[in-house]
């Protein structure tokens, strides 16, 4: 007996958890990056961004507002690319796999990091393009600028929206039974979000997915002298302001940062729908805390 | 034969996944109601709705039991028509609800029907393995192309579903009829 035991081949080394997750991350990332959809969508977004140029007579701030929604095709592409591997996890073979579901889910999410890098690169492209064309226009004379640039806080929203796109793709991919049903669902969700003027009212914008600044706030009555307003106010009036009198186009970095917090909460809540049962409650709790903090913060910042 | 289709209607309706379509309808309704409350234009939402609902109807063509049913004496096209009728009727009702809730002038269901017919035609003629996925993606692709293409001939051609929807519907229907044995 001991002779047999002595002659037995040594047991194969069991790879550590980190190595298994690493291998899965590499395989899933390769698959996601081979998917042509996010690349085609990136091209559409980049082309859309290229078409945004301020023109004389434009609606005050329209070119500034148009810069964020051009990212929507890219976000749709990211959601589709992430939804495919998460939908694959619904197959019967997956529960019998030797790697725990939590690790497989984690690996798929880590594999989506290059797609997040894509959104960061797109945000960088937007920043470069705005400087290249000499800035965008906000406001009307006498309160007007032709050199408006999106702040870091506003550009960071594109990256956080990339995270929401990953989470949305993961949630729908995991929960929707047929892959083909994801196409209209993701399309409608992202393109309704891009109709930003529906969510631009100060009372609604904290809950929006894509927050597009500037917000329009009341500045004074029609009889007010616009030169008497603070010099840094970007003004609008009829027919570009429906409130009557003078309004001001307001851009706030603090609002954008708090909106990022809200979006992080939203992403955590969406991820909880894709995450296996152990750990789901933690994600829900974190999501609720961040979302509430984000909404309260935004309401606190808006004058 | 129509009796067979009537008998097949209930089990087919049970096999259709309704939740994604219902969720999509909910999102569109919220957007239109929000636009109405804020007195903002919802034209863009209606165009998104046309493309989204068309993609949903085409996605409804997916039949997991297609291989099993290939042997029954009801043609593939008849089964497709049954599925289109079952999913298309609620989609059309949703469209009318959205259109009636919006404050804009009614544009009619032309774009929705044109995009649906185009998607179905693509699904009929595309390779079987990915036919429904490609067909359901067609309305989305047409919508995106129409938005990003610069004004010109290409943009005009791609945007026919919006400017001349009834012609697009007629041509796509002819393509579907031509591919009825596929």
- Render pLDDT for B13-52 as a digit per residue (tens, 0 to 9): 888 888 888 999 999 999 999 888 888 888 889 999 999 9
- Verify that A139 and A171 share a domain, yes or no: yes
- Verify that A89 and A220 share a domain, yes or no: no
Check CB contact of B38 with chain A, cutoff 8 Å: yes
Check CB contact of A195 with chain B, cutoff 8 Å: yes
Q: How many domains does chain A have?
A: 2
Q: Do A189 and B27 touch (CB under 8 A)?
A: yes
- Verify that A40 and A141 share a domain, yes or no: yes
User: Is A228 within the bounds of a domain?
Assistant: yes
What is the number of CB-based contacts under 8 A between chain A and chain B?
89
pLDDT score recorded for residue A2: 47
Calpha distance B157→B140 (Å, rounded): 16
Check CB contact of A207 with chain B, cutoff 8 Å: no
Tell me which residue in A176, A187, A189 faces B51 most closely, judged by beta carbons.
A187
- Verify that A110 and A168 share a domain, yes or no: yes
State the residue range of the domain holding A67.
Answer: 19-197
- Verify that A193 and A225 share a domain, yes or no: no
- A1: pLDDT confidence band, cut at 50, 70 and 90? very low
User: Is A1 within the bounds of a domain?
Assistant: no
Cα–Cα nearest to A157, from A300, A288, A263, A75:
A263
User: Is A131 within the bounds of a domain?
Assistant: yes
pLDDT score recorded for residue B37: 85
Query: CB of B31 within 8 A of CB of A193?
Result: no
pLDDT score recorded for residue A160: 97
- Verify that A193 and A230 share a domain, yes or no: no
Q: Is B61 exposed, middle or buried (0-12, 13-18, 19+ CB in 10 A)?
A: buried
Chain B contact set for A44 (CB, 8 A) = 144, 148
- Verify that A94 and A232 share a domain, yes or no: no
User: Is A11 within the bounds of a domain?
Assistant: no
pLDDT score recorded for residue A217: 84
Q: How many residues does chain B have?
A: 182
Which of A152, A168, A197 finishes a domain? A197
Cα–Cα nearest to A241, from A270, A219, A210:
A219
- B10: pLDDT confidence band, cut at 50, 70 and 90? confident
pLDDT score recorded for residue B47: 92
- Verify that A242 and A125 share a domain, yes or no: no
User: Is A78 within the bounds of a domain?
Assistant: yes
Query: CB of B36 within 8 A of CB of B98?
Result: no
């Amino acid at each position: 007996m001991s002779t047999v035991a002595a002659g037995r081949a040594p047991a194969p080394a069991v790879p550590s958890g980190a190595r298994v997750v690493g291998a899965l991350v590499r395989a899933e990332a390769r698959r996601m990056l081979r998917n042509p959809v996010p690349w085609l969508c990136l091209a559409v977004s980049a082309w859309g961004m290229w078409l945004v140029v301020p023109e004389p007579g434009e609606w005050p701030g329209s070119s500034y507002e148009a810069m964020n929604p051009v990212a929507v095709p890219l976000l749709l592409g990211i959601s589709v690319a992430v939804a495919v591997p998460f939908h694959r996890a619904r197959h019967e073979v997956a529960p019998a796999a030797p790697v725990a579901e939590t690790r497989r889910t984690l690996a798929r999410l880590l594999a989506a990091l290059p797609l997040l890098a894509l959104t960061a690169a797109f945000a960088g492209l937007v920043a470069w393009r705005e400087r290249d064309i000499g800035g965008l226009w906000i406001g009307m004379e006498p309160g007007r600028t032709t050199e408006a640039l999106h702040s870091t806080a506003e550009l960071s929203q594109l990256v956080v929206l990339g995270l929401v796109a990953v989470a949305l793709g993961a949630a729908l991919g995991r929960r929707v039974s047929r892959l083909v049903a994801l196409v209209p669902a993701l399309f409608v969700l992202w393109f309704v979000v891009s109709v930003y003027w529906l969510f631009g009212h100060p009372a609604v914008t904290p809950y929006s997915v894509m927050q597009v600044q500037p917000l329009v706030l009341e500045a004074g009555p029609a009889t007010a002298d616009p030169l008497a307003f603070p010099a840094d106010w970007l003004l609008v009036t009829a027919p570009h302001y429906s409130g009557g009198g003078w309004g001001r186009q307001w851009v706030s970095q603090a609002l954008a940062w708090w909106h990022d917090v809200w979006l992080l909460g939203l992403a955590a809540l969406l991820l909880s729908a894709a995450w296996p049962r152990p750990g789901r409650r933690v994600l829900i709790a974190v999501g609720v805390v961040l979302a509430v903090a984000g909404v309260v913060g935004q309401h606190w910042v808006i004058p | 034969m129509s009796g067979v289709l009537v008998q097949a209607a209930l089990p087919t309706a049970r096999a259709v996944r309704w939740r994604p379509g219902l969720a999509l309808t909910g999102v569109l309704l919220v957007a239109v109601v929000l636009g109405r409350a804020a007195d903002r234009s919802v034209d863009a939402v209606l165009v998104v709705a046309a493309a989204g609902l068309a993609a949903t109807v085409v996605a409804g063509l997916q039949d997991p039991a297609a291989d099993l049913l290939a042997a029954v004496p009801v043609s593939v096209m008849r089964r497709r028509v049954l599925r289109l009728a079952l999913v298309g009727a609620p989609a059309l009702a949703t469209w009318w609800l959205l259109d009636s809730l919006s404050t804009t002038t009614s544009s009619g269901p032309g774009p929705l029907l044109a995009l649906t017919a185009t998607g179905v035609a693509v699904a009929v003629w595309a390779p079987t393995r990915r036919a429904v996925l490609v067909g359901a993606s067609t309305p989305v692709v047409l919508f995106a192309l129409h938005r990003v293409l610069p004004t010109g001939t290409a943009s005009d051609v791609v945007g026919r579903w919006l400017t001349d929807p009834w012609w697009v519907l007629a041509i796509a229907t002819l393509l579907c009829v031509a591919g009825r044995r596929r």
